[in-house]
Structure 1
Amino acid sequence: MKPYQSIPIRDCGEPLIAIPLVQFSVETPHPYQKLGASYGEKSPYYLRSKVIEALIQAQTYLQQQYSGWKIHIFDAYRPVAVQQFMVDYTFTSLLKEKGLTLDSLSETEKDSLWQQVYQIWAIPSDDLTTPPPHSTGGAVDITLIDNQGQLLDMGGLIDELSERSQPNYYANHTDNLGQTYHQKRELLNQIMTQAGFLRHPGEWWHFSLGDQMWAWQGQKAVAYYGRA
């Protein structure tokens, strides 16, 4: 169990609704759907209604500083089944990347690989008291595009299994490029926190509002979004 999962949930019953995608930048088809993840009747571009309101507000803050820039939504709502799909996909990809086969691994080696996977992926729990953040409709993975429609280079990819995923990885870099990456990440964090979100401590792209992680980080007594 991760520390934030100890926070009790009192779901407020707020609806999960479609994000007004015309206001943002998105990738079509959705990145995980391209890999084969099935959402069934659900959509990855859904969030709780007040989370969408806050996301629109964050983009307003962005455009007050940089006219024409937009939030690029990489991922939002994620059913537990999709969480499981992506966890399994990441583990299999890690095996291939390292030139390993499952049968050749000791239990210790398997555990080590799983620990790497779970650095950025929440456990796909069916327990209603410990839902993956994205399964609540209160978490969103984002980056930014400029007024030319180009994705900003943030010094690392979303879902990257490396130290570069740490939000402050470039904070102490003295070179110009490293400082530029850090400034872009800080801009993203600034507009989101100004709108009420909190950033995942280990992922520069992941922000939440109302779920257990948000409550834990903000020292709230309860979370008000459970599994949607």
Structure 2
Amino acid sequence: MSIASVKPYQTLLIEECGEPLVPIPLNLFAVESPHPYEKLGADYGGKSPYFLRQGVLEALINAQRNLQKDYPRWHILIFDAYRPVSVQQFMVDYTFATVLQERRLTENNLSPQQRQEIWQEVYKIWAVANDNPATPPPHSTGAAVDITLVDATGKPIDMGGDIDELSDRSHPLYYANSTMAQEQDYHTHRELLHQVMRAAGFRRHLGEWWHFSLGDQMWAWLYNQEQPLQPVIARYGGV
């Protein structure tokens, strides 16, 4: 495996607050069932993906309340939340293998350059799976969540791209300047999701419309870009 470079947010210190992981009350949200990574074969080792840190869960509930002020019967759909490092590794390897399959390549025949390019692509959306307490994958802290929206009938709102999609469409602002009506709708939906989450204290991943975090290194790094004179410290490390 190629060694991915340290991402900017991973240079921030973590002052672990010791807040517990708690189960998400799934009756309050929409969920994918069975869990999408378990369907692929990921083994959670008896742990559940539907856990978050207590403060993050409270903020997520507030985000849904924000949503339902204007869309009373809409719900946040939780695609993924807590992710053990072992599952992070499984999904990194799965994504690498999927790219090979789509391009009709075999790992044994890859040139060093091909291998490096594919790993770079994989790591655009996947954090390195490691047990280093200084650089935990965001989802392994219990402070990150991958989400979308469903309407009053339970139908997913079209965001113009799939969660975990390896393409430019995953960028939150991909459709921002489109003049096509349908693509303008995609952007509107993404911004609605962004607004309700941000109002609850979350920050959105710069490259993924579906990924939001609160209290981890990525959140702190994004917050500090906005408020350099009032910096915050990450309070959630790996669990």
State if a TM-score over 0.5 links the two structures. yes
Q: Which residue of 2 aligns with 1:73?
A: 78
Deviation at 1:222, TM superposition (A): 1.8
CA distance in 2, matches of 1:38, 1:210: 26
Secondary structure of the corresponding residue to residue 59 of structure 1? helix
Asked if 2 retains the 8 angstrom alpha-carbon contact of 1:8 and 1:221, the reply is no
Q: Which residue of 2 aligns with 1:62?
A: 67
Secondary structure of the corresponding residue to residue 119 of structure 2? helix
CA distance in 1, matches of 2:87, 2:94: 10
Q: Please list the CA deviations of residues 115-159 of structure 1 after superposition, one character each: whole Å capped at 9, or x if unmatched.
A: 010010000011110000000000000000000110011000000
- Find out whether 1:226 has 2:231 as its counterpart: no
Deviation at 1:13, TM superposition (A): 0.3
Count of equivalent residues: 228
- Find out whether 1:23 has 2:36 as its counterpart: no
CA distance in 1, matches of 2:77, 2:86: 24
CA distance in 2, matches of 1:86, 1:15: 25
Match of 1:164 among 166, 169, 179: 169
- Find out whether 1:193 has 2:216 as its counterpart: no
- After TM superposition, what 4+ stretches of structure 1 lie above 3 angstroms from structure 2? none
CA distance in 2, matches of 1:126, 1:11: 15
Match of 1:175 among 177, 180, 193: 180
Deviation at 1:221, TM superposition (A): 4.0
Q: Which moved more, 1:100-109 or 1:202-211?
A: 100-109
Match of 1:212 among 190, 195, 217: 217
Q: Which residue of 2 aligns with 1:116?
A: 121
Amino acid at match of 1:187: L
Percent of aligned pairs with the same amino acid: 62
Q: Which residue of 2 aligns with 1:98?
A: 103
- Find out whether 1:36 has 2:19 as its counterpart: no
CA distance in 1, matches of 2:83, 2:132: 15
Secondary structure of the corresponding residue to residue 155 of structure 2? coil
Provide TM-score, normalisation by structure 1: 0.99
- Find out whether 1:130 has 2:141 as its counterpart: no
Secondary structure of the corresponding residue to residue 149 of structure 2? strand
Asked if 1 retains the 8 angstrom alpha-carbon contact of 2:78 and 2:148, the reply is yes
Asked if 2 retains the 8 angstrom alpha-carbon contact of 1:192 and 1:207, the reply is yes
Q: Please list the CA deviations of residues 82-141 of structure 1 after superposition, one character each: whole Å capped at 9, or x if unmatched.
A: 000000000000000000001111111100000010010000011110000000000000
What is the root-mean-square deviation of aligned Cα atoms in Å?
A: 0.6
Structure 1 portions without partners, runs of 5+ = none
Deviation at 1:41, TM superposition (A): 2.2
Q: Which moved more, 1:216-225 or 1:78-87?
A: 216-225
Asked if 1 retains the 8 angstrom alpha-carbon contact of 2:223 and 2:232, the reply is no
CA distance in 1, matches of 2:91, 2:147: 17
Structure 2 portions without partners, runs of 5+ = 1-5, 225-230
